[in-house]
Amino acid sequence: MKRAILLLALATAGIASCAAAAPAGPVIYPAKGQLPMQQDRDRYECHDWARAQSGYDPAQPQQPGTPSQQPGPAGGPSLNEMARGAASGAAVAELTNHDAGRGAAAGIVASSVVARVREQQAMQARQAQQASQLQAGRNQARSIYERGFAACMEARGYVVK
């Protein structure tokens, strides 16, 4: 008797939390006249089984994906980028104010800024791709959970829509 009460309490808690997390769940009809206590136990057992099969738990809030922070190449611009920046800066400075040294330094700084911006853009693109893959994996696990739950309930004599 204690086991039945415990099972009923767990089923009620599990179903309540499932309903809170996923309001648009399946509609389940007891086609073989199952009593409410039997329905609760079946729902809980099928939820538990589907969760184990899929790794997805609708009772758990979805944690936003935090893609790993992969640093870009360290050290700023490459030697080629710095050389091009220095040459460009020197050429512009020579044409405008005849101070090629100062222009070369400005070109190196500019190439460093450009390289840093490119690193940031590449990192953001990687993070967006990882977040997309993470969401696709969650969606697939949810689909497996929903199909498993429905199959379990149907095997126990319920109509699931």
The verdict on residue 83 lying in a domain is no
How confident is the model over 37-82, as pLDDT tens digits?
Answer: 999 999 999 999 999 999 999 988 776 554 555 554 555 667 777 6
- Output the CA–CA distances (angstroms, integers) from residue 99 to 16, 29, 161, in the order listed: 75, 85, 78
What domain range is 19 assigned to?
Answer: 2-64+148-160
Q: What is the model's pTM? A: 0.54
The verdict on residue 111 lying in a domain is no
The verdict on residue 20 lying in a domain is yes
Lowest mean per-residue pLDDT among 3-7, 9-13, 17-21, 75-79: 17-21
Domain count, the chain: 1
The verdict on residue 51 lying in a domain is yes
Q: Which two tokens stand for residue 140?
A: 């697939």
pLDDT above 90: percentage of residues in the chain: 47
The verdict on residue 31 lying in a domain is yes
The verdict on residue 154 lying in a domain is yes
What pLDDT, on the 0 to 100 scale, is given for residue 71? 52
- CA 28 to CA 14: how far, in whole Å? 16
The verdict on residue 10 lying in a domain is yes
The verdict on residue 37 lying in a domain is yes
What pLDDT, on the 0 to 100 scale, is given for residue 19? 47
How confident is the model over 81-107, as pLDDT tens digits?
Answer: 767 776 676 666 665 666 667 777 777
Lowest mean per-residue pLDDT among 20-24, 74-78, 124-128: 20-24
- CA 1 to CA 21: how far, in whole Å? 30
**Higher pLDDT among residues 98 and 126, named by residue:** 126
Angle between helix 100-155 and helix 36-54 axes, rounded to 10 deg = 140
